[in-house]
Amino acid sequence: MKKNNLKAWLYLLPALVFIGFFMIYPLIDVVVYSLEEGFNSVSQTSFGFGFYNFSYVLHDSYFLQAVKNTFILVIITVPVSTVLALLISVGLSSIKKFREWFQTIYFLPYVTNTLAVGMVFMILFKKTEYSEGLMNMLLRWVGLSAVDFMEGPYWAKMFVMCFYTIWIVLPFKILVLTSSLASVNDEYYKAAKLDGASGSKIFFRITLPAISPMIFYLVITGFIGAFKAYSDAVALFGTNLNAAGMNTMVGYVYDMLYGEGGGYPSYAAAAALILFAIVLTITVINLSVSRRRPSL
């Protein structure tokens, strides 16, 4: 085929313009911002060029709180949601009746507005002087005392946050795992049954190895997604996440950029780059761990 250089670039032009302005240039610019010490939007000046922004962010107690929150969220929700999704998918694959019904219901959280449904969760967990809320009613039923989930102790707020996150991320994982389970070759199962293998043996020797690439994929995207948690937290605890003590790393970036206490793209850039470095490191570790497995 002959080369039609000009025409090809013409077709690519719109994409290149958009990507150039809103992806490539910002990518370079964010590094520049992160090195312009103490740059703020009001005065448009910085007091030097170097790594002060990173040191400022790493010494900011709000950032450290955000890092702590984010790490707890990641460590709890990624394993729990993956295992839960696996159990549910295996259950789904083993039944025939009502399967489509279950699948449809399980997928619903994916298509809901995170902010809107988060408010329902807030109502369910909230405790005011007029009403203890539904969750506390359930706690009373089993003989426990009421807890202020939304404005009370740290672990209670973290519990709500993790619960909501898992509720939100499960649809995608269940969907991916069910379709992955459906694609496992039936011959293996037939052969195993002929050999009289037990159910658990079939699961660990056939099913799990066959879908392990998908599980690793879900773990990696799960890590990335959980590290970028933000709007779920806003939905539950409102926009002032620092006051609630529930800020996330992404939330810190946006708070530095905009709103009360914002106007510091320099600090926001430094925090965003630190977040990116963490996510990249963990992704690389995940990939190298999964490569070492013989089954892949």
Please list every residue from 57 through 96 that binds other proteins, using CB under 8 A.
81, 87-88, 91-92, 94-95
User: What is the x/- site pattern for other proteins, positions 166-185, by CB under 8 A?
Assistant: -xxxxxxx-xx--x------
156 touches 133 (CB < 8 A): no
Q: Which is nearer to other proteins, 75 or 115 (CB)?
A: 115
Q: From the DSSP assignment, how many helices (H) and strands (E) are in the chain? A: 15, 0
User: Please, which of residues 197-216 interact with other proteins by CB under 8 A?
Assistant: 199
Q: Which is nearer to other proteins, 124 or 294 (CB)?
A: 124
244 touches 238 (CB < 8 A): yes
Q: Which is nearer to other proteins, 26 or 294 (CB)?
A: 26
Residue 95 carries which side chain, given as an amino acid letter? I
Angle at CA of residue 260, ends 254 and 266, nearest 5°: 50
Told to check if 41 binds other proteins by CB under 8 A, we report yes
Buried b (16+ CB within 10 A) or exposed e, 118-145: beebbebbbbeeeebbebbeebeeeeee
User: Please, which of residues 90-129 interact with other proteins by CB under 8 A?
Assistant: 91-92, 94-95, 98, 102-117, 119-121, 123-124
Least Cβ distance, residue 249 to other proteins (angstroms): 9
Least Cβ distance, residue 291 to other proteins (angstroms): 18
**49 DSSP β-pair partners:** 36
Q: Of 18-26, 68-76, 186-194, 286-294, which part binds other proteins (CB under 8 A)?
A: 18-26
Told to check if 189 binds other proteins by CB under 8 A, we report no
Of 130, 220, 233, residue with least CA distance to 173: 220
